[in-house]
Amino acid sequence: MSNKKVGAVLVVGGGVAGIQASLDLADSGFRVYLLDQSPSIGGVMAQLDKTFPTNDCSMCILSPKLVATGRHPNITIVTNAEITGLDGEAGDFKVKIKKRSRYVIEEKCNGCGICAQKCPVEAVDRFNEGLSNRNAVFVEYPQAVPLKYMIDREKCIGCGTCYEVCKAGAIKYDQKDSETTLNVGSIILAPGFEPFDARLKSEYGYGRFKNVVTSIEFERILSASGPYGGLVLRPSDGEIPKKIAFIQCVGSRDYQLGNTYCSAACCMYGMKEAVIAKEHTPSPLDATIFYMDMRAYGKEFDAYYERAQGEWGIRFVRSRVAGVTEDPRTGNLVIHYVENETPKTEEFDMIVLSIGMHPPKNIEKLASTLGVQLNKYKFCQTNTFAPTETSKPGIFVCGAFSAPKDIPESVAQASGAAAKAMEVIASERGTLVTAKEYPPERDVSKEEPRIGVFVCHCGINIGGVVNVPEVVEYAKKLPHVVYAEANVYTCSQDTQKLIKEKIQQNNLNRVIVASCTPRTHEPLFRETVQESGLNPYLFEMTNIRDQCSWVHMHEPKEATEKAKDLVRSIVAKAALLKPLKKPRINVTPVGLVIGGGVSGMTAALELARQGFEVHLVEREKELGGHLRSIHYLLEGNENPQERLKALINAVNENSKIHVYTETQVTEVSGFVGNFKSKLHQNNGEEKEIEHGVVIVATGAVEYKPTEYLYGKDPRVMTQHELEEKIANGQFKAKNIVMIQCVGARNDERPNCARVCCGQAIKNALKIKEKDPDAEVYVLYKDMRAYGFKEDHYREAATKGVLFVNYSDERKPQVVNDNGTLKVTFYEPIIGKEIEIEPDALVLSAATIPNPDNKRLAEMLKVPLTKDGFFLEAHMKLRPVDFATDGVFLCGMAHSPKYIDESIAQACAAAARATTILAKDTLEMEGIIANVSEDLCSGCRICEPICPYGAIEMKDKNGKLVAHVIEALCKGCGACGTACPTKAITMGHFTNEEILAQVRAALVEVKA
């Protein structure tokens, strides 16, 4: 057995999960090969229009990650590729790769697209789900990474035109498929999923009735860059529907087809598609969702569900859909469904089938090549305590391939898998990477401003409303502007190259991009500018998408005028821009993990195994947190208490982890890379520690019910108390009623507590296992047994557990009638009130935020949600990051979740933290406050105004002056505004710059 280890990782699958894993690995000092079987990365997320629950534009949030992946010096993207063989073992794998020919030399193709324009052959565009055509030479979508064309050999007739027109000489008809072997230390599988083939559900008419479309087709229909330009149209006649229906669970929870699991994301995307369809339709659109259970179990999902019903007026019909028929004259569709055992019909203009997630195509072949076990559904086999590990050491899994899941869960799991993949080869960190080098900075201080303006069409996002060529012509005439042009997508990889060329050719010393939001795209353009030798702060951006084409969609003329105003005004500012320095700070390679539950312990262990020292702080006497009260699992036969013991032992035995029990963090100061915290132990001891990152893993608590006689009648208990009793053998009741959503999904706490449905099923099954004659009723609002949990729900029902739906209007009633516990509830199927006298009433009490969250949040300067859980930086793509650098979160502190989800998130937080700890120094933001010590009067007005504690007073030659701690300053500028002597200037936002911008915004400069 060799001890050789290789500091490289192969990531299989370039969807959002594979991208996230690649970025985390590459940022932590490992070389990454990102393999995808298609010609470009992006996966299904690239096809989506908007994302729930924030309704963010999918492409807009994905694109910066695509570009970052494409340009990362440590990531090699291998497209059109598949794995054909595997040798070796964890730490030193040799992976055989077959790469299908593109017939285009990737190094030469610059993505200009002239070949596709001239290609005489059309083919079905699979990216648009067949709703439009593409050419035989193509890219999958305009922002594809890598932006390299490919010839569809099946369709190409070999006329030779592309070769003739390609200016770059990139076409190569005799390019052969190639084979190569990659040497990597570990492998991450992120091949995603295959959308269900709706034809198999023939009773819904897909493929026969034109106006029945799948949800993924509907995403393309909704997309502004999709086939219908973002208008919802009926495929049968191009009319805008007035009445649209969504049928849920198509290819999921289906016992006839054998797809018994729940696809986990469809309830939310169905709702989102209904909401967006209404927004995209100029005339009133009536939207109805036919569902079995509305599984809005994720963070803030129920709030979205509430809005969908209220604000957006979407109708929800709990029913089973038997079939769909078509009126051939009108193309309208009739849904035949059963609601409360009553057969009904209703006519619609259009139907969307919310199709489920199936295992990736040909996955059995890959699994057998790699020696990885699949579960009975042909998804990857994992287990609760190792959610990112496959059956083969050194090979990890993330995303929908481990179980159907949504984007944030995939992203968190991806970072988690990255942590595990790094762990195998932690000793090889930094051995195979190349540092990003920028050319020396050009001194522009003596030059007159020479401004270049790049105006983005954003496909039709901007160009469909704003007259972009007109804006470009206008910009050309503005003072100091020496160059202006329009781009289809200014953010695409090829445009970055182009901007650099234009900077050189025109000797530009200021660059402006007029496109979308700087929030997502400014770092990309700054880097581009820096790569051409300019200081990155000689770049400015103005948002003509959100502020012009989106808000003034129906007034194109005015939108164009406004875009000109914005460009004029930013040009005026840009002329005054000064180069800024980015301070570098050292990193203390130590982690602080707050909370010693399963999440905190996992995160601490992961960091320690990456080679970093960790302080693990637990308030209670013992480690273990919430897991201490879990005695058996819903999924799998592992013993949670044994696993807990093993975990605690691993933590205690790891010399890099310092455990502090009965201890609280009382003060955190400092900043990313350089935190100082005070620990207060219950015995009165104080300790100060230094660390580079903080991971918040403080968990959550069980709600103590005030309803249903809890605390007043000994027969009433919570699910946890029930579990404890069953585990101790004390539970003897024969007649049990469980009530779901106690303390959740109500006015006070609108969101779902996620785990209680699983708990109820788990405990009901346990009761039935011990005593098959016991009567168990579960009174629920929606049974949210998502993913593979659905099978257990089914099992419970089969074993005689009675599930009865209740609504908020008719909640169950519980009374103690002279010592007899009575539960009355309405049974909707028979339409009658039922009274039961149970000997145990079990309340599925919500998981609610840790009451200590508020104190911690203030201490760490991080936000909480309305509910009181910690709020991450971005709900979709940054699930374990805070907006504050160096602070991360995981587990139930984020929101209620199951053990496997907490563990995946804990590993994710560790991976994200590693991207900081693995670096010797960090480069900070350059836009910070600056004090002119000559002007400063030492009045101290600024000091308390700074919310980040970035200003301290210093003695300067006997005079007290304000001093800015560079690494802490976030650049808000509040101090400068307050300074009575105007001693504080804000870099990049000086008074002169802002005023120039304002003046130009208001004064029409005749061009």
Partner 1 sequence: MIFRPKIVAFMCHWSLPPEIDVSTPSLIRGYPKIRIVKTMCAGRIDPAIVMETFLKGADGVLVVGCHSPDCHYVDGNTQAERKVKMLKRLIRLTGFDPERLRLEWANASEIENLARIINHFRNQVASLGASPLTSGESNSDVVINIKAAKAVAENFTLRLLVGREKEMTENANVYGDKVSQEEFDRLLEETLEAEFIRHKIHQLITEKPMSVKEIAAETHMEPSQTLCHIVNMRRKNMITLDHVKGTTPLYKALEAH
Residues that bind partner 1 (CB under 8 A): 118, 120-122, 131-133, 157-161, 163, 173-174, 210, 227-229, 231, 233, 235-242, 282-283
Give the residue with the Cβ less far from partner 1, 173 or 550: 173
What is the rounded distance in angstroms from the CA atom of residue 402 to the CA atom of residue 268?
20
Q: Decide: 21 and 11 in contact? Cβ < 8 Å.
A: yes
Give the residue with the Cβ less far from partner 1, 238 or 772: 238
Least gap, CB of 241 to partner 1 (angstroms):
7
Least gap, CB of 244 to partner 1 (angstroms):
12
Least gap, CB of 478 to partner 1 (angstroms):
29
What is the rounded distance in angstroms from the CA atom of residue 645 to the CA atom of residue 783?
32
Least gap, CB of 285 to partner 1 (angstroms):
9
Least gap, CB of 597 to partner 1 (angstroms):
53
Least gap, CB of 216 to partner 1 (angstroms):
17
What is the rounded distance in angstroms from the CA atom of residue 898 to the CA atom of residue 640?
12
Q: Decide: 660 and 618 in contact? Cβ < 8 Å.
A: yes
CA 484 to chain centre: 35
CA distances from 640 to 24, 407, 413, 633, 644 (A): 30, 28, 21, 7, 6
Least gap, CB of 440 to partner 1 (angstroms):
44
Give the residue with the Cβ less far from partner 1, 104 or 904: 104
- Ramachandran area for residue 566 (φ above 0: left; ψ -120 to 50: alpha; else beta): alpha
Give the residue with the Cβ less far from partner 1, 117 or 373: 117
Least gap, CB of 196 to partner 1 (angstroms):
23
What is the rounded distance in angstroms from the CA atom of residue 131 to the CA atom of residue 235?
9
Give the residue with the Cβ less far from partner 1, 192 or 463: 463
Q: Decide: 779 and 740 in contact? Cβ < 8 Å.
A: yes
CA distances from 336 to 219, 356, 720 (A): 25, 21, 42
Half-sphere CA count of 330, side-chain side, radius 13 A: 11
Least gap, CB of 143 to partner 1 (angstroms):
16
Give the residue with the Cβ less far from partner 1, 161 or 937: 161
Q: What SS3 class is residue 323?
A: strand
Least gap, CB of 454 to partner 1 (angstroms):
22
- Burial of 866 from C-beta contacts in 10 A (0-12 / 13-18 / 19+): exposed
Give the residue with the Cβ less far from partner 1, 69 or 225: 225
Give the residue with the Cβ less far from partner 1, 131 or 994: 131
Least gap, CB of 137 to partner 1 (angstroms):
12
**Which tokens is 511 given?**
């660059």
Least gap, CB of 163 to partner 1 (angstroms):
7
Q: Decide: 577 and 540 in contact? Cβ < 8 Å.
A: yes
Nearest by Cα to 386 from 204, 112, 636, 183: 636
What is the rounded distance in angstroms from the CA atom of residue 503 to the CA atom of residue 346?
61
Largest CA distance in the chain: 93
- Burial of 382 from C-beta contacts in 10 A (0-12 / 13-18 / 19+): buried
- Ramachandran area for residue 679 (φ above 0: left; ψ -120 to 50: alpha; else beta): beta
E strand segments, 846-936 = 847-849, 887-889, 921-923, 929-931
Give the residue with the Cβ less far from partner 1, 174 or 773: 174
CA distances from 440 to 487, 509, 654 (A): 28, 14, 45
**Which tokens is 151 given?**
């010839």
**Amino acid sitting at position 1003:** V
Give the residue with the Cβ less far from partner 1, 556 or 583: 556
What is the rounded distance in angstroms from the CA atom of residue 874 to the CA atom of residue 60?
13
Least gap, CB of 274 to partner 1 (angstroms):
17
Give the residue with the Cβ less far from partner 1, 160 or 469: 160
Give the residue with the Cβ less far from partner 1, 54 or 161: 161
Give the residue with the Cβ less far from partner 1, 240 or 317: 240
Least gap, CB of 228 to partner 1 (angstroms):
7
Least gap, CB of 276 to partner 1 (angstroms):
17
- Burial of 401 from C-beta contacts in 10 A (0-12 / 13-18 / 19+): buried
E strand segments, 219-356 = 243-250, 286-291, 315-318, 320-326, 333-339, 342-348, 350-355
- Burial of 676 from C-beta contacts in 10 A (0-12 / 13-18 / 19+): middle
Give the residue with the Cβ less far from partner 1, 118 or 680: 118
Least gap, CB of 106 to partner 1 (angstroms):
19
Least gap, CB of 473 to partner 1 (angstroms):
19
Give the residue with the Cβ less far from partner 1, 154 or 653: 154
- Ramachandran area for residue 550 (φ above 0: left; ψ -120 to 50: alpha; else beta): alpha
- Give the orientation angle of helix 266-280 with respect to helix 215-222, to 10 degrees: 30
Would you give the DSSP letter of residue 477? T
Give the residue with the Cβ less far from partner 1, 134 or 691: 134
Q: What SS3 class is residue 863?
A: coil
Measured between its terminal Cα atoms, the distance across the chain in Å is 75
Give the residue with the Cβ less far from partner 1, 219 or 966: 219
Least gap, CB of 160 to partner 1 (angstroms):
4
- Give the orientation angle of helix 789-798 with respect to helix 756-770, to 10 degrees: 40
